[in-house]
Structure formats: C-alpha cells, structure tokens
Amino acid sequence: MQIPALRRKRPRSAGARRNARSPIKPAEVLCNKVGKYVDEQAVDDIYRAYLFGAQAHKGQRRQSGEPYILHPLAVAEILSELRLDSRSIIAAILHDVIEDTSTVKEQIADEFGEDVAYLVDGVSKINKIEFESKEHAEAENFRKMLMAMSRDIRVILIKLADRLHNMQTLDALPPGKRRYIAKQTLDIYAPIANRLGLHKWCQELQDLSFHQLYPKRYHAIAKALNKRAGNRKSVVKKLRTTLERELSQSSLDATVIGRKKTVYSIYRKMSLKHKSFSELYDIYGFRIIVSTVDDCYRALGVIHNLYKPIPGRFNDYIAIPKANGYQSLHTVVFGAFGESLEVQIRTDDMNRIAEAGVAAHWIYKSGSDSSVKSRQLARQWLLDLLDTQQQAGNPGEFLEHLKIDLFPDEVYVFTPKGEIKKLPRGATALDFAYAVHTDIGNRCAGARVNRELASLPSVLNNGDRVEIITSDTSRPTAAWLNYAVTSKARATIRHYLKSQQRYQAVDLGKRLLDRAVKTRRFGRKKLTDEQRRNLLDTIGVDNWEDLLADIGLGKRMPSMVAKQLLPPPTRRDQDAGQAQDSPLAIRGSEGMLIHYARCCSPIPGDTITGFFTSGRGIVVHTAACPNAKGYEKQPDKWVPVEWDENISGGFAVNLRVDVHNRRGVLARIATIIAEQESNINNVTVDERDGQIPSIRFTIEVGHRRHLAQIMRQIRGEPSVLRLSRAKG
C-alpha cells in the first residue's frame, strides 16, 4: 500500500475539526494535551502523523473490534503524560506502521524525518526473518530494540507505553495468549521499566500481569487490601497529622504523602516471607518530601525520635543510590498503634527521578545532577547489556542474561581503594572480579574478603571489602558457570570457553585431517592452496579454519574430507604406503574436544578406540567397552587412537571396595588413596545388608601402573574383602 504525501494542516477551530473528513475524538484529545507544552507547528505535525497512520491502518481492527488507529493514539497519549517531545509522540502514533502495514522506513523518513523513522524502526519487530524457535525470535527482537535504545533512549519509552496499553486492553485476547504476554511483561518489560526508574509504569505493568496470571489471588488480595483500608482510614489520618506536626515543630518544610502498597508487591512479600495477608503490617507507608539532602537526615532523626526504628530495616539510598539512580532514605518503624510503618524521605528532585526515572528530563526539563546521573546510569546499563549480547553465543543465551540482569536485588561491596561496586544479591567473589575488569576475572585465582582468604564461589554481603588475587596461569573453566551470577561474568566465561573450544577444535581437526590425508596419499600429505580453495568452494565453507574446526568438533568426518580433497590412490601408492597408517596420539591435554567415556573410564595403559560425536569431538572408550561394541554399525565414525608416550594429567577411574562394617574403615581407605598421591573426586556407600557395605570411589590416577599401586595398597587393609575396578 502506497501512502500519499500528506501535507494537510490540523484544522484550527472546533467547528473545522467536526467538519473534517476523518478526525476522531481521541486525535483531538491528544492534540489538546500535547498542545499545552509544545508549539502549534509541532501539534500540526502530530495531527499530520495521525492522518498518515489512519491511512496506513485503514481497514485494520484490533481483537476488540475497534479501529486499530486507536491503539497508537493511546500509546501517544500515555507518552504525553511524561511530556515527551513531539518527535516521540509522532513516532508513537506511527510505531506499528512498518510492522503491520506495507509502509517502509524510507516513507516515514521522507514525511517526518530520519529521527522519527529511526524510532519507529527501533520499536518494530523483526518479522521478515525465519527463526529456529519462538524464543530465538523474541531474543532477536529484544537485541534489536536494545541496539536502538543505546542510541536513543526514547525507543524503549515508546515500547513500554505500547506494552502498557496492550496490557490495559488484554481481555480481548484468548486466555493462552493473555497468559503468555502477561508472563513476558512480568519477566522483562516491568523490570526494564523499574531499571529505568519508571516506577509508576512498572507497578501498573506488574499489577496487570499478576491479574492475568493469577486472577483469583489478585482479587483475594485486592479485596483484603480494600477492607483494611476502610478499617484503618482514621489511623492513617492520625499518623499523617502527627508526622506533619512533629516535622513542623522541628522547622522542617515538609510534605507528607500517604501511600499504599500495590497488590503485586504485597503478593511478593507474602511469597518471600511465607506469611499470610493478616501477618503483614507495613501495608501502608508515608513519603516525606523536603527541600535539601540535609533536611532528609534531619527528618529521619525526627521520625526515629518519634517512633522506634526496627533493626535491619533502614536503607540509605542517598549515600549509595540504586542502579537506576533512585535516591531516598527508607526506614521501618513501630507506629503509635502497634503496627510497622514504612517511611521514605527524599528531596523534590529525588522524588521526580523516583517517579519518572530517565523520563524526568522531558517532564521537568531538569538539568540537575540527579536527572543527568539517572540518564548516565541507564545508558551505562544499556552499554553493558550490548557488551553481553555481543559475547552471547545465541539469542536464547542472551535472553537468559537479560532476565538475570533485570532482577538486581543489590549488595554493595568495596574495592581495596574504597570504590563501591553494585552486584546482585547472591553474587560471588568471581562476579566481583569480572565487575572490576574482564581481564581480572579471566585471571582470578582467589580472593580476600575483609582481609581473609576466600574462594571464588564465596557469596558477598553488604559492606564487604574484596580484593582479587590473580595468577597468569589461571583461566576460566566450565565449573565457573556454576557459581557466576551476573550476566557479565557468565557471558564472558562462556565466550572464553567457546573461543578455547574453537582453538582446540582447529588444532584437533588439523591433526585428524593430516592423518587422513597421509593415509590416503600414503606419506605424501602436503596439500596445495588450489586443492584447499576448490574444496572450500565445493562444500560451501568460508575458510580453512572453519573446516578444520568442523572436523575437530565431529561435524565432518576427516576420511570424507580427505576423499573430497584427493583422487583415489593407485595400487602402487597403496603398496608403497600401507605401513604408514598410524593411530592418532592422545596427549591428555586436548581440553574439551577429547572426552573420556564415563561408561568405561579409560586411563593411560588401557587399549582404547575413538568415536566421533557431533559437536563434542572424539569420545575415547576402552576397546573392551560394551558401548564401543554397540557402535560397530557406524564404522565411518571410528578413528584409531593410542596413548601418547608423554601423556600427562589426571584420569578418573571408579573403584568398588567391599569391606567389613568396622569403625574408621572409610577413613583408613581414604588415607591410603591420599598417600598414593591421588585425589578422591566422589564417594558413595551402599549399605546393603549392613554387615558388608560396598564403597564406590571415583579417584584420579596418572596411568595403569599408578592404579595398580593404589589397588595393591588398599588390598593390604584387613577390613577389605573385595576390590575391583568398576565400570559404568
């Protein structure tokens, strides 16, 4: 559909608006609202955008049956409450035309400018690409939106307003779709609104989502909340009067505002504290707004002098602001009527930031430090997220990191120089290392927490002083993912492991292909550049390293690649080179591309064979392993392997020990194993009849001689009845 160029001016008079061919009341309401804070030319442009959008969406209706154009107008009206600029309002009116009509970005740019086209494109979903799954599509759309947000924060403001109106009108959709959208909103959009300081939007999104996901719980809590409000209205009024009087007597110019918790916040508190509604007392609270920071602390003194503070329930977010720039003093006290009372104390400027977050800049045209800091924090958060998404291996992984990052119940810890680092609750010393710097994280070997040695999995608490110990030989391992909490740490570790895996895959692939080519060419294994180029063109691989990596990961068989590279050998070549076909040497240092089968736990000295597994490289089995015999139907995936003469490292092996049930027998066997310079990785005990328990050890050995030495020493223990190397 081609949208004609619209240069029509908004009708000036009410009569002209009524006689115009297509204006409807919501467009007039929007223009009147926006007209209170922008000039007349901007209002004309907004009206022209409405005409453009109405034409583009002509004939389209929402699930409720109403004309589709009413939705973008409602989104624009929500943004007008934040007093966003006219370009944002225009983009909000047009935010669905690229996604839901045949209009293209260039048309919007021609009519309304590149900035509006950029905002509309940033909000639009990617709907012209086929994705592997719904999750991948969702993740890619978030990735696209965050990229646009990093350049212009208004992209997410439009998207959040769009989601807010969709949630307000969700009842027209089928139940399954309502629950899916509500869950997505609660998991991602509400936390984003919170992270950007848009608390009013966040609370409404949470309540609307909770209502759709758990309607019975929502109505039960809302009913109980309204009942308590009616019963205690006079109590709240008396408390407010008392607070105002005491603050006034202390010469503090303060505004006291009563506040009631939302249904969803009460539900969360009930869930986290495992309490019923009747056991919650701090349902109501007060917000005290004063002029200066000094007045905040003076007011705090007045409150604590009037009512007794509850230990552990005070937070100073002025000295240490939240990640989204939020600042306030929070305290919970015992009220005059025997109930807990939450009090928040902040300045006017802090209150503006608390209410509107990054949008405070447009509402109040504020150039204050708090307003600027809020925008800087939001931008830094976005840049950190973009850094994370660049390291994420796939869209699903990025979505996981995003969800982790959106729930930062924070702890504040200190560097040795006294700098504050904010981390999510449950963060470890490893997370702190990555928060300081990526290189510090990749080389960390331990930590000192409050000057005492601590391991990397140690969980940090508020106020801890943390120093990271680094080592040039320390490198990330897959085990680090078990105790890394922050998205930055997890993404960096995964990125490192994948880069290491590729390096190892290329090295292993080269060894395998060299061996296959040598076998096929019988000693004359050097390949020409022309042979390599021809093969890459034939199989459609970009470069030689990618091909070697595919071979190392088991995605391509080296024998098949060698066959494509080289012509069939002649009988003369075969006779001359039969003895040169040698097994692949296993060195023990190949990393994550050589796996040792758990079913038979091969160790140096065992006769072994290798089997290709797609994505994992080579799995090594003992030649006598029953599972190895089961793979005989796939001879093309087998590769001859042998232990290298200079094999190194520790290899897991299982021992089964039947013993007399005597005191201390387990400790004595463990001591024997330790004395033979072996580590015990795991111990399980099967009691059986109670008289002869069977103990299973998983230990590390260097080779078969080392294992034989350990077994000989264990057999010498009088309590040992039977000893065998267990399989499986």
Burial class (CB in 10 A: 0-12, 13-18, 19+), 680: middle
3-state SS of 550-573 is: HHHCCCCCHHHHHHHHCCCCCHHH
Angle at 400 between CA 397 and CA 406, to 5 degrees: 145
- Say if residues 388 and 488 touch (Cβ distance below 8 Å): yes
Cα separation, 224 vs 101, whole angstroms: 46
Mark whether 439 is an active-site residue.
no
Q: Around Cβ 314, how many Cβ atoms within 10 Å?
A: 14
- Say if residues 661 and 637 touch (Cβ distance below 8 Å): no
Side chain identity, residue 529: D
Catalytic residue among 44, 85, 100, 644: 100
Catalytic residue among 44, 85, 99, 187: 99
Cα separation, 390 vs 481, whole angstroms: 18
Side chain identity, residue 621: H
- Please report the beta strands in 554-637, taking only residues with DSSP state E, as ranges in sequence order: 584-586, 594-596, 608-613, 617-622
Cα separation, 192 vs 88, whole angstroms: 19
- Say if residues 657 and 665 touch (Cβ distance below 8 Å): no
3-class DSSP state of 696 = strand
Side chain identity, residue 139: A
Q: Around Cβ 721, how many Cβ atoms within 10 Å?
A: 12
Cα separation, 627 vs 365, whole angstroms: 71
Burial 398-408 (b: 16+ CB within 10 A, else e): bbbbbebbbeb
Burial class (CB in 10 A: 0-12, 13-18, 19+), 717: middle
Cα separation, 704 vs 606, whole angstroms: 7
Q: Is 325 left (phi over 0), alpha (psi -120 to 50) or beta?
A: left
First to last CA, the chain: 66
Cα separation, 442 vs 430, whole angstroms: 9
How long is the chain? 728
- Say if residues 68 and 61 touch (Cβ distance below 8 Å): yes
3-class DSSP state of 374 = helix
Q: Give the CA distances from residue 364 to residues 359, 368, 377, in Å, rounded to whole numbers and listed in that order.
A: 9, 10, 19
For residue 561 the two structure tokens come to: 């690649």
For residue 697 the two structure tokens come to: 């050890």
Please identify which residue in the block is written with the tokens 């999104």: 205
Mark whether 99 is an active-site residue.
yes
Side chain identity, residue 449: V
Cα separation, 225 vs 278, whole angstroms: 10
| Helix and strand numbers, DSSP H then E, in the chain | 31, 20
Burial class (CB in 10 A: 0-12, 13-18, 19+), 540: exposed
Q: What amino acid positions are annotated as catalytic residues? A: 99-100
